[in-house]
Every structure is written in C-alpha cells, then in structure tokens.
C-alpha cells in the first residue's frame, strides 16, 4: 500500500509502506521476539525490491528505510550535516553510560569524536600490537587444549574471550584472564551487556512504543556501577594521572587534565550564521561511558565477525586452504611470528574476513535522524527534522543486485579488481562518513591477528553439533548474535 506518511508532515508524499497496526506499527513481530530488528528489516527490504525508499513504523513513529546506495551516500557523507544524529532514542541523562561516542548526538558527539580520534592513529595501533601478540599466543594454547579433547569448540565463545583479553590490555591496562578463565569478571560482564533478558527487551519495546514515558523507565542495562567501580579503581592506582601505558584509560585521564572540550557547535548558530561555541566537561560519567563503549564494542563486534568467518571457512575447505597458504607464506618471511607488518600483508585472509562481514555484519542496520528539513533528489521526497532513517546494511550486503550468489562465501569479491567498480555504499560493516566506526582499524587488526593465530596452527571443520546455517538470535537488535553459539571442530595442522 501507499501512505501519506507523517514522515512528511508538511510536504506529504506517497511512500510505499506495509499497513501499520495501531500502537505497534509494522514492528510487532520484533517486539514479541519472533524476529530480530535486522531480520525484520530484511523482510521489508526484499518485499519492496523496486523502491528506493520505504516507509516503516517502529511503534507509533515513522521511519524511512533507504535502499538506494546513492541516497545512502547523501545521508552518510555528502549531506551529513542534515543527518548527523544517530537517534537511538534513549536518554543519556537518565542512563549515564549512554554518554558514549556511539550513542550521543549533536555537540556531545562532535566534541568527543575530535578528542578520541587520536587514540586510533597508525602509531597507536602499532604500539598496541605486542598486546595482540600476547593474547594471540594465549588463544593458540586454548585452541590446543580444545583440539586435544576432540570435541566441538564454541568458536564464538573462544573468540569473545580472546577479544575481551585484548580490549582489557589495550583499553584498561590490565590482564582480564578471560582466555584462561571463561567465567572471569570481565567475560561475565560482557555476557551481561549483550545477553538480552525479558526485562531489557520489555523496556526497549516500551521506550519505542511510548516515547513520552520512556524517560521515566529504568535503564536497560544495570551495569553503571560495575563499570564505574572498575574505572575508579584503575584511576586510583594511577593516582589520577596517565601511567605511560598509552592505553585508553591514559587517554581519558589526559583529556580530563586538559579541562573542558571546546569546539564549534553543529547544533546552534549565531545570527550571522557562524557556529556558537560548544563545551563538554570530561567528568567521571562521561569518561566511564567511553570506557564502557570501548570495552563493549571492541570485544563483541570483533568476536562476532571472526567466529562467523571461521564458521564459513569450516564449510568451504578449499577457501580455508587458500587462507592458510596466505598466512603460512607471509609468516615464513617473518620467522613465523605475528607482527603488525605481517598482518597487513595477508591479503587473502583480509578478503575472507571482509566476506564474512558482508554475509553477517555485526551491526545489521545503521540509524540516523534528520536534523534539518531535507529533500532527497532521487525520489523528490521532503522529510522534516526528527524523522528517523533506517539503512538495512545486512539486506543490502546480501542483495543479488550487488553481490552475485550472495549466500556463497567468495572472498575474491574483495580483490582490488572486483572491488574497484562496485558502489562504495553497498558494503558498510563499519558504516561510513564522519560517524563511521572510530575503531574500525583496531577491530580489523585484532580480528585478523586472531584468525591468523588460529588458522596457522589449526584447521576448522564442522562438528557434530554444527548447524550449516546458524540461527540468528531473535532478541538481538543493535548488535547481532547467533543462537547457541558456533560449535566447530579444531584439528591441529601437522
């Protein structure tokens, strides 16, 4: 059907949309836990295959789902000034951990982004690599123990423990021991963040369905005190000063010592059109929130991507052998030792990892909000401030139009020759534009190192409990997860 959506309250325009239900809109199956939001967006995307934009009601509020890569380019980069908010719909004043770079919008986001970007320079990444090597060596020992048992190993859990330990080392400056102890404090904290409960699912649904009362609801995750206690303890150990470790805590302490973050506003302008000055105080709540998102995003997305890649390699042994030969030949030039330069030379491993992220991106959808009235030239649709934008990246990355035989695992799609003519905005596992993932290079570096460490010593094969097509957890929304983990068999290479 067509609707004259209040997407366009002053300039109505027919936009195709499923008929919405009262209160629930088009999202009732997601609210009831039958499908994840990514799965729901995939259904709608495929239903309207000839449309560039589609109307969608998540609860009572309309959204515009964008299918066309040229329109996506406008939203994420060319006309970013009209779409800088992410608009995830929760109040950081009520939930202090949401004062992080991923969730905040407007001036808070811009000021944090400009100050946190130096943490991810090439020099910083190289300095972190010895920590990756240390964790990779532990990962090989854990994999050896698992292989000796000759039973299925949940590689999803194994890689989560690896990334948790690395994020602990380079972020907190402490050994989290998740690889040695699967029930360590930090691994338990990671599960607490990303394992949805009936309570958290209900609160998120109510915030969507009744935005006016959402600010009075309790936090979705009750971990504020846990993260604050960890940060306070580390800060006190360092006497409130940078320790010289050059980890993420040091960066936050350096920012606090500099005082308020000041910069031009993107929300407010003077009468002459120039931006007003914006300020942000680096208090404990703001610093704790950055540490939270560094930990949560750092381990969860990388472990999801690496384990899914291992799953696909288990079912594509010919591809796995090409990956192994790539790793073996590169390491032979570096005395069989992992290092920053060696990882950068593993071209086929990199292609395989990108193909894994294409098939199953950790973030299945991207979200933006219209900040200023905007007309989309490609469809002549005018949208008003406050309209939410949905970009279904998993649906796009699995579209036959852009990737032939999308259900097949074909790393060669990402060779330089095959990539050069493909539209840049049909592959967005890290987003794009000014709000692209700030830690994309770090995430890719630790992921490739983890994969290389495992595949250099072991072959992965389907186990007795392995499912060919893993089932997506229907309760996962922002970050996708697999129901029941990803069991595989690890076989030592001779």
Question: Domains of the chain: which residue ranges?
Answer: 2-492
**Euclidean distance between CA atoms 268 and 264, whole angstroms:** 9
Q: How confident is the model at residue 297 (pLDDT cuts 50, 70, 90)?
A: confident
In this structure, which CATH number among 1.10.630.10, 3.90.78.10, 3.30.2130.10, 3.20.20.70 belongs to the domain 2-492? 1.10.630.10
Question: What is the per-residue pLDDT across 137-175, written as a single tens digit (0 to 9) for each?
Answer: 999 999 999 999 989 999 999 999 999 888 888 888 777
Nearest alpha carbon to residue 252 among 224, 223, 288: 288
Per residue in 425-483, pLDDT tens?
999 999 999 999 999 999 999 999 999 999 999 999 999 999 999 999 988 877 888 99
Sign, CA torsion 40/61/99/251 = positive
Q: Is the pLDDT of residue 9 over 50?
A: no
What pLDDT does residue 6 have? Answer: 45
The band of 1, judged by pLDDT with boundaries at 50, 70 and 90, is: low
154 φ, ψ to 5°? Answer: -75, 95
Joined together, the tokens standing for residue 329 give: 């030949």
Per-residue pLDDT tens for 35-57? 999 999 999 999 999 999 999 99
Question: Can you read off the two tokens belonging to residue 464?
Answer: 């007795």
Supply the pLDDT for residue 221: 66
Tell me what pLDDT residue 92 has.
Answer: 72
Residue 475 CA to its chain's centroid (Å):
16
Q: Is 437 annotated as a binding residue?
A: yes
Specify the residue for token string 């067509």: 2
Q: Which residues lie across from 31 on neighbouring strands?
A: none
Q: How far apart are CA 126 and CA 445, in angstroms?
A: 10
pLDDT of residue 182: 65
Q: Are 107 and 267 in contact (CB under 8 A)?
A: yes
* End-to-end Cα spacing for the chain: 61
- % of the chain at pLDDT higher than 90: 60
Token couple for 140 = 């090989």
């Amino acid at each position: 059907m067509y609707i004259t959506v209040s997407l366009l309250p002053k300039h109505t325009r027919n936009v195709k949309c499923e008929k919405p239900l009262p209160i629930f809109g088009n999202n009732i199956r997601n609210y009831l836990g039958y499908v994840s939001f990514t799965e729901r967006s995939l259904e709608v995307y495929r239903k309207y295959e000839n449309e560039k934009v589609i109307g969608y009601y998540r609860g009572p509020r309309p959204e515009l789902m964008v299918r066309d890569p040229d329109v996506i380019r406008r939203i994420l980069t060319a006309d970013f000034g009209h779409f800088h908010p992410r608009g995830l719909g929760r109040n950081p004043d009520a939930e202090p951990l949401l004062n992080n770079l991923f969730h905040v919008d407007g001036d808070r986001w811009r000021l944090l982004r400009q100050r946190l970007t130096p943490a991810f320079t090439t020099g910083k990444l190289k300095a972190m690599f010895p920590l990756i090597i240390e964790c990779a060596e532990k990962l090989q020992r854990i994999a050896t123990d698992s292989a000796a048992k000759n039973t299925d190993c949940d590689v999803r859990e194994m890689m989560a423990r690896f990334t948790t330990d690395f994020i602990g080392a380079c972020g907190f400056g402490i050994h989290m021991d998740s690889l040695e102890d699967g029930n360590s404090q930090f691994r338990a904290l990671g599960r607490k963040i990303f394992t949805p409960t009936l309570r958290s699912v209900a609160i998120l649904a109510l915030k969507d369905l009744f935005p006016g009362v959402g600010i009075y609801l309790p936090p979705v995750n009750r971990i504020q005190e846990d993260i604050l206690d960890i940060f306070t303890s580390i800060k006190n150990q360092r006497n409130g000063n940078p320790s010289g470790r050059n980890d993420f805590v040091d960066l936050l302490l350096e920012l606090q010592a500099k005082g308020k973050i000041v910069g031009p506003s993107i929300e407010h302008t003077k009468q002459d059109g120039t931006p007003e000055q914006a300020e942000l105080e680096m208090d404990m709540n703001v610093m704790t929130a950055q540490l939270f998102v560094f930990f949560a995003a750092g381990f969860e997305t990388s472990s999801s991507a690496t384990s899914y890649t291992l799953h696909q390699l288990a079912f594509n042994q010919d591809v796995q052998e090409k990956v192994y030969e790539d790793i073996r030949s590169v390491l032979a030039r570096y005395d069989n030792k992992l290092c920053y330069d060696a990882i950068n030379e593993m071209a086929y491993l990199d292609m395989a990892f990108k193909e894994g992220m294409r098939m199953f991106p950790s973030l299945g959808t991207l979200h933006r909000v219209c900040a200023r009235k905007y007309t989309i030239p490609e469809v002549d649709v005018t949208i008003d401030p406050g309209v939410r934008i949905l970009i279904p990246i998993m649906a796009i990355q699995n579209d036959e139009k852009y990737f032939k035989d999308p259900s097949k695992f074909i790393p060669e799609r990402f060779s330089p020759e095959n990539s050069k003519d493909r539209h840049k905005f049909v592959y967005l596992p890290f987003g794009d534009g000014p709000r692209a993932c700030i830690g994309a290079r770090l995430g890719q570096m630790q992921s490739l190192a983890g994969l290389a460490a495992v595949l250099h010593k072991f072959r992965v094969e389907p186990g007795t409990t392995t499912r060919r097509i893993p089932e997506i957890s229907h309760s996962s929304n922002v970050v996708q997860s697999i129901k029941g983990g990803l069991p595989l068999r690890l076989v030592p290479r001779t």
